[in-house]
Structure 1
Amino acid sequence: MIGYVTIGVSDMAKAKAFYSELLADLDAKVLLDMGRIAFIGKSMGSPMLAVCEPFNKEPNNPGNGNMVAIHPGSKEAVDSHYHKAIELGATCDGEPGQRIPNQFYGAYVKDPDGNKLAFFHFG
């Protein structure tokens, strides 16, 4: 269904380092680097996250209401990824916690460019 999600960034080297380190324990890495865009994931046949400098050469702008949600596999992994993101330079946009009783556990950060990420676990 989803092939990849793209987010705009201002510094490709910083973005690739941030996401490669953040998602390394999910077996994700830079799979394809084309200069102004890089695809990060497990394989080209699995959903990926792409970071790119905007094609129109205008400044990147995080969209209000746009968010990339990452499922690391457990509540403990949500906590771990949230704290790792903060250590890597992200800012808190919602500490880890149960959002919907017995259904949705989540944590929210904004990456160094202001793009919103969610780490979540259902159940």
Structure 2
Amino acid sequence: MIGYVTVGVSDMDRAKTFYSELLKDMGASVVVDMDRIAFIGKSMAEPMLAVCLPFNEEPNHPGNGNMVAITASSKEHADALYAKAIELGATCDGEPGQRIPDVFYGAYVRDPDGNKLAFFVFG
């Protein structure tokens, strides 16, 4: 259902490196790179994450209440994604942990531009 999600960034090279490194173990890389926007994923036939310099050329602003949630294959995988994001320059916005018993496990970070990410597992 979702083709891609876009997050605004201030530095395209930094954002492409951050997301490519973060998601490479999941098989993702920069699929399309068009100067002010780049699509990161496995293929154009699957959902992707896009990073972009805002079209209006104004500074990017993380949305209050906006978040990109990335499915992890296990709690350990969520922990690893969280640790990798921190290593790549993200900041903690909620350490890994069980949020809803037997239902939802999650970890939260803010990328170098302040965009909120979640790494989660249901069940």
Give the TM-score normalised by structure 1. Answer: 0.99
Name the aligned partner's letter for residue 58 of structure 1.
E
* Alignment match, 2:21: 21
- Give a deviation string over 1:102-123, Cα, whole Å, max 9, x none: 0000000000000000000001
Unaligned runs of 5+ in 1: none
Q: Aligned partners of 1:73, 1:38: CA distance in 2, in Å?
A: 25
* Alignment match, 1:91: 91
- Give a deviation string over 1:85-114, Cα, whole Å, max 9, x none: 000000000000000000000000000000
SS of 1:23 mapped into structure 2: helix
Give the TM-score normalised by structure 2. Answer: 0.99
- Equivalent pairs: percent with the same residue? 77
Q: CA deviation at 1:8?
A: 0.1
RMSD: 0.3
Q: Within the alignment, does 1:54 sit opposite 2:62 as a pair? A: no
Runs of 4+ in 1 over 6 A off after TM superposition: none
* Alignment match, 1:12: 12
Q: Aligned partners of 2:30, 2:95: CA distance in 1, in Å?
A: 28
How many residues of Structure 1 are paired with residues of Structure 2 in the alignment?
A: 123
1:67 and 1:118 in contact (8 A); partners too: yes
Q: Aligned partners of 1:56, 1:72: CA distance in 2, in Å?
A: 34
Q: CA deviation at 1:72?
A: 2.0
Unaligned runs of 5+ in 2: none
Q: Aligned partners of 1:94, 1:12: CA distance in 2, in Å?
A: 26
Name the aligned partner's letter for residue 18 of structure 1.
F
SS of 1:113 mapped into structure 2: coil
SS of 2:15 mapped into structure 1: helix
